[in-house]
Amino acid sequence: MNSNLLPRFPLRRPLLVLIPAVAAFISACATGNPQDTFDTAGPVAEDQANLFKFIFWIAIVVFVIVEGGIIWITLRYRRRSDDEMPKQTHGNTKLELTWTFIPALIIIAIAIPTIRSIWDLAEPPSGEPVMTVEAVGHQWWFEFRYPEEEIVTANELRVPVGKNVIVKLQSQDVIHSFWVPKLFGKVDMIPTRNNELWFRADEAGEFFGQCAEFCGIAHALMRFRVIAQPEAEYDAWVAGMRRAPEPPAAASAEARGQTAFAANCSSCHSTDSYRPGAYERELVTQDGRWTGWLANIEGARIVSAPNLTNFGIRTTFAAGIRDLDRATLVEWIDDPGSIKPGTRMEAHAAVYQGGDGTANLTSAQVSDIADYLLSLVPGEAAPDDSANGSGDDSGGDPVELGQATFAANCTACHRTDSERLVGPGLAGVADRAGSRVSGLGVDEYIAQSIKEPNVYIVDGFPPGMSSFAHLSDAEINGLIAYLKTLN
């Protein structure tokens, strides 16, 4: 019925199949793009790529035979006259058994290296030095914890070149997947599970990572970097993360920014993971932010948020989707939702409520906060010197000292009015404290609550607060004096 079309098709058909195939094949060369799975930089990704290539070449052979066969058969046996009548052959058992066994042999050839690779990659090679980090998925950013170094940071995982790294994977909310294509294939971060993976970066560099499991509105914008550095540079980074930044000069933009940050941002963002004991406290606090959010999602004004300790040395922010520069940071602080739609920061933090979603701050304040954050780079001071904040606790007004201590240590969880954050609002605490526990006066109760907070828990709050016994007596007395002024 279409015999007039026949002569043209023998030429068209193979082209139609071949052109896309060839075009696709040509583009198969490694691209060098930042998430290229062939441009590997470590043994795990390399092993995975090699397995792929092995199967790929077998597949190419099968592809050429089958596709070539289809085209050849179609051309060779196309109908040349309408009254052709081929022999009605029904099959050939020998032939069919043969082509049942040949695929089986191919499958065995593929299965052997696959199984070997599965077991090889299950754990890092024994006997080699290994370090452990923890990665926690949050909607929509990655938290990184170094339990041995007591560092908490976000969205940039720094590792030494050449060292095997075990990453323990957790999630606080939904399922995410942890993936750095040039270093390792993905493993899911699942609440209720403790997955882990290992990798090693054999060359220094910045490697792109991205969440690979659909996790909600900003899934596409949940990225991160692995920064592999030579051991010495990595050690210097670790040491730096254990040191406080230089305090801003009085009346500088950074100082104003610090005040504005303390008032508007510090409920969710910690900046002090260099302090002794701060690591455990951050874990508890982060958990408290999360449970508080869950308990009252509609009204929550606190959410889990990246730790910003020594933020100024980061190369990217907003979960790896922006390079860290002042202009972008200002844009972000003013209206994070314009850069990352759906971000919890804009949806919940008090400073973004009540208006058009942008920060209820003057542009000068936004700019000051940006300056302050960029100034957060490791200072020269040895860690112990900064353990007690400014360290200047002799003389001066105890209420003023208490206010500063409160701003630096307590605002993540406590407000100074009666509204609940993670912990109770502290307005009028002096009136309540005296009667809370018989035998303890106001001052004793508050001091006790700071040093051993979980002995007496206020009803309805989780026992989440960690001890602040490391504060100096002057600071604790200052806090007591300050808290008693709150009504």
35 backbone dihedrals φ, ψ, rounded to 5°: -120, 25
Cis? peptide before 140, omega within 30° of 0: yes
When the beta carbons of 113 and 240 are compared against another protein, the nearer one is: 113
Give the dihedral sign, CA 163/164/168/169: positive
The packing angle between helices 253-264 and 363-374, to 10°, is: 100
Going edge to edge, which strands form the sheet with 164-171?
A: 151-154, 141-146, 130-138, 164-171, 195-199
Answer yes or no whether residue 91 interacts with another protein by CB under 8 A. yes
Least separation, in Å, of the C-beta of 141 and another protein?
Answer: 15
CB 396, CB 475: distance < 8 Å:
no
Q: Which is nearer to another protein, 213 or 368 (CB)?
A: 213
Binding mask 360-399 for another protein (x = CB under 8 A): ----------------------------------------
Q: How far is the CB of 320 from another protein (least distance, A)?
A: 10
Does residue number 166 form part of the binding site for another protein (CB under 8 A)?
A: no
Region near another protein per CB under 8 A, out of 208-216, 249-257, 272-280, 327-335: 208-216
Question: Nearest to residue 313, comparing CAs of 203, 404, 225?
Answer: 225
Give the DSSP H or E segment for 227: strand 223-229
Q: How far is the CB of 199 from another protein (least distance, A)?
A: 11
Q: Which DSSP letter does residue 168 get?
A: E
Smallest gap, in angstroms, from Cβ of residue 314 to another protein? 17
Report the run of H or E that residue 229 belongs to, with start and end: strand 223-229
CA torsion through residues 218, 219, 220, 225, sign: positive
Q: Which of 11, 66, 239, 457 binds another protein (CB under 8 A)?
A: 66
Beta-carbon neighbour count of residue 145 at 10 Å?
23
Do the beta carbons of residue 450 and residue 277 sit within 8 Å?
no
CA distance linking residue 298 with residue 295, whole number of Å: 9
Smallest gap from residue 73 Cβ to another protein (A): 5
Figure out which of the listed residues 134, 156, 213, 393 binds another protein, where binding follows CB under 8 A: 213
Least distance in angstroms from the C-beta of 59 to another protein: 4
Give the one residue of 136, 152, 155, 216 binding another protein; rule: CB under 8 A: 216
Count of residues in contact with another protein, rule CB under 8 A:
105
Beta pairing partners, 130: 164
First vs last Cα of the chain: how many Å apart? 94
* Interaction of residue 214 with another protein, rule CB under 8 A: yes
- Separation CA 209–CA 202 (nearest Å): 17
CA 427 from centroid of its chain's CA atoms: 36
The piece of 175-183, 278-286, 461-469, 477-485 that touches another protein (CB under 8 A) is 175-183
Mapped onto helix, strand or coil, the DSSP state of residue 339 is helix
Order of strands, sheet of 223-229, starting from the edge strand that comes earlier in the sequence? 156-160, 223-229, 205-210
Q: Does 94 bind another protein (CB under 8 A)?
A: no
Taken in order 446, 451, 457, 462, the sign of the CA dihedral is positive
Q: Is 191 in the site for another protein (CB under 8 A)?
A: yes
User: For another protein, which residue of 151, 159, 218, 486 counts as binding (CB under 8 A)?
Assistant: 218
Of these, 131, 166, 174, 437, which contacts another protein (CB under 8 A)?
174
Token readout for 255 is 């100082």
Query: Is 132 a binder of another protein (CB under 8 A)?
Result: no
CB atoms within 10 A of CB 177: 21
- Of the two residues 10 and 230, which places its CB atom closer to another protein in the complex? 10
Binding to another protein (CB under 8 A) within 33-62 occurs at 33-38, 45, 47-49, 51-52, 55-56, 59, 62
Residue closer to another protein (CB basis): 215 or 407: 215
Among 132, 166, 168, 188, binds another protein (CB under 8 A): 188
Which 448-477 residues touch another protein, going by CB under 8 A?
none
Which of the residues 249 through 308 are near another protein (CB under 8 A)?
A: 294, 297
| Residues in 69-88 at the binding interface with another protein, rule: CB under 8 A | 69-70, 73-74, 77-80, 84-88
Instruction: Give the Cα separation of 303 and 173 in Å (integer).
Output: 12
x/- contact string, 96-125, with another protein (CB under 8 A)?
x--xx-xxx-xx--xx--xx-xxx-xx---
Q: Is 205 in the site for another protein (CB under 8 A)?
A: no
Which one of residues 125, 230, 299, 341 is an interface residue with another protein (CB under 8 A)?
Answer: 341
Binding window for another protein (CB under 8 A); candidates: 66-74, 153-161, 248-256, 454-462 = 66-74
